[in-house]
Amino acid sequence: MTNALRALDIDLHLHSQTNARAHEDRGPLTLVRGDGVHVVDESGRRYIEGMAGLWCASLGFEEARLAEVAARQMRTLATYHTFNHRTNDACVALAEAISAISPISGGRIFFANSGSEANDTMVKLAWYYNAARGRPEKRKIISRTGAFHGSTVMGAALSGLPHMHRAFNLPDQGVVFTACPNHARHAEPGESQEDYATRLAAELEALIQAEGADSIAAMIAEPVMGAGGVILPPETYFPKIQAVLARYDILLLADEVICGFGRTGNWFGSQTFGFLPDMMSMAKGLSSGAIPIAAVALSDRIYQAIADQSAEIGVFGHGFTYSGHPVSAAVATEAIRIYHEIDVVGRARRLGAHLRAALDEALAGHPLVGEIRSVGLLAGIGLTADPATGRDFDPALRVGAQVERRCLAHGAIIRNMGDNIALCPPYVIEPGQIDALVERLRAALDDVADTLSRDSLA
């Protein structure tokens, strides 16, 4: 990138989720190309991308087959909408490819462009479903502290992360929050995973009773909380939660935006964590992040209510210009074809086991490392000021952010969420590259440990 373009990035571009004033000083990190699991910046530095971008580039950063299908579709039918009975071959093929792997059988697939839109859609479908069956007052949505469900008004309202709410003063969307299932952090001393899950289910039931089941439409949950810090629920958490919701006629919506397409060692996170949602949203890995597209799979029960639209409710008034966009759909269908060819589920399990072993070996006993969590090819590492007691660092030290920066210097991209480190590499990573990623993370942790001990001596 020329200096002129760098200056324009600072002068013209408001970045997502970025400290704008700091950006004026620091300027951008400009990525110019990708190869496999690597991305390359403008100075030619190569980084192992340990986060698949934003948890999305499952097949890495250049995949010729995706480029070819996109170009072919652009030359055939570059764009068309799906309003008013219109369709195209590409989006039907994609609906078939998703249905073939979806645990929700017999329903329908709705298309959108982003994870946020897909989650908004699930909420609107839940509202429409209840209106259609004469229960319009059943509207509230239960979400969880620590959840991330997107950046649209509803996506942010559903998110249980303070910075998504602070300063926006979002309109009251009728979202109520229940606890984040983080055993390591929130269980009582000596409380087993099982007892903790039972307690959270009881807390959920108490919340439903306090709010009134007749006022609640659905609960939304990521099988593994991603942006909240890669939080894995206890094994029996979701079955217990699902049983409570079923008792009160409340839908369960799975946000599979991160977990979908193999990440947790099954096609969908709900399969790994033992529940069957009424709807699930997917995005990111749906197209390997190569083109914007998202989808919602909805159950037959919800579809039938929509299809039976009554005169007073009227036509299903929802959908986007680019719902079922042929180019995006063609790319996503090809990505899913590749996932089958590389046995993405088996691959995530095998590589995930390798990643876990490498993390355990390299980081066990490290003075900054507390808990290591992983499922499939997804891992979270909790940083701690004292591994013996699990004491937190003073947030002002921004230890996680320091580790992320030192990783970059060592040629690896990871992500810190506060003092949690996330790893979510592309599935095309090889075992040797996993080892290199973990070595670089270890070197970054060593650097930060040195700085902290120097500062404490100073």
Closest residue to ligand PMP, judged by C-beta, is 115
Q: What is the DSSP letter of 234?
A: P
In single-letter form, the type of residue at position 323 comes to: S
121 forms part of the interface with ligand PMP (CB under 6 A): no
Beta carbon nearer to ligand PMP, 144 or 240: 144
- Count of CB atoms within 10 A of residue 145's CB? 16
CB of residue 159 to ligand PMP, shortest distance in Å: 8
Q: Which residues pair with 423 in a beta bridge?
A: 379
User: Please, are residues 84 and 265 in contact by the beta-carbon 8 Å criterion?
Assistant: no
410 forms part of the interface with ligand PMP (CB under 6 A): no
Residues 246-265 that bind ligand PMP (CB under 6 A): 255, 257-258
User: Please, are residues 360 and 374 in contact by the beta-carbon 8 Å criterion?
Assistant: no
285 forms part of the interface with ligand PMP (CB under 6 A): no
Quote helix, strand, coil % in the chain, to nearest 5: 45, 15, 40
Paired tokens of 289: 């992040």
Total of residues contacting ligand PMP (CB under 6 A): 16
List the x/- string, 5-24, binding to ligand PMP by CB under 6 A. --------------------
Distance between CA atoms of 304 and 315, rounded to whole angstroms?
14
Which span (98-106, 112-120, 302-310, 326-334) binds ligand PMP, by CB under 6 A?
Answer: 112-120
CB of residue 249 to ligand PMP, shortest distance in Å: 25
List the x/- string, 186-225, binding to ligand PMP by CB under 6 A. ------------------------------------x---
Residue of 57, 95, 161, 283 interacting with ligand PMP (CB under 6 A):
283
List the x/- string, 49-88, binding to ligand PMP by CB under 6 A. -----x----------------------------------
271 forms part of the interface with ligand PMP (CB under 6 A): no
Q: What is the dihedral of CA 238, 239, 242, 246, to 10 degrees?
A: -170
Residue of 58, 88, 102, 116 interacting with ligand PMP (CB under 6 A):
116
127 forms part of the interface with ligand PMP (CB under 6 A): no
Beta carbon nearer to ligand PMP, 233 or 370: 233
Q: What is the DSSP letter of 392?
A: P
The residues near 77 (Cβ < 8 Å, ≥ 6 apart) are 88, 90, 326
149 forms part of the interface with ligand PMP (CB under 6 A): yes
- Count of CB atoms within 10 A of residue 393's CB? 18
Residue 378 CA to chain centroid, in angstroms?
A: 11
Helices (H), 248-392: 269-272, 300-307, 326-341, 344-363
CB of residue 164 to ligand PMP, shortest distance in Å: 11
CB of residue 116 to ligand PMP, shortest distance in Å: 3
452 forms part of the interface with ligand PMP (CB under 6 A): no
Q: What is the dihedral of CA 283, 285, 290, 293, to 10 degrees?
A: -20
CB of residue 213 to ligand PMP, shortest distance in Å: 26
User: Please, are residues 449 and 408 in contact by the beta-carbon 8 Å criterion?
Assistant: no
Distance between CA atoms of 400 and 219, rounded to whole angstroms?
31
**Which residues of the shown chain bind ligand PMP in the complex (CB under 6 A)?**
54, 114-116, 119, 148-151, 222, 226-227, 255, 257-258, 283
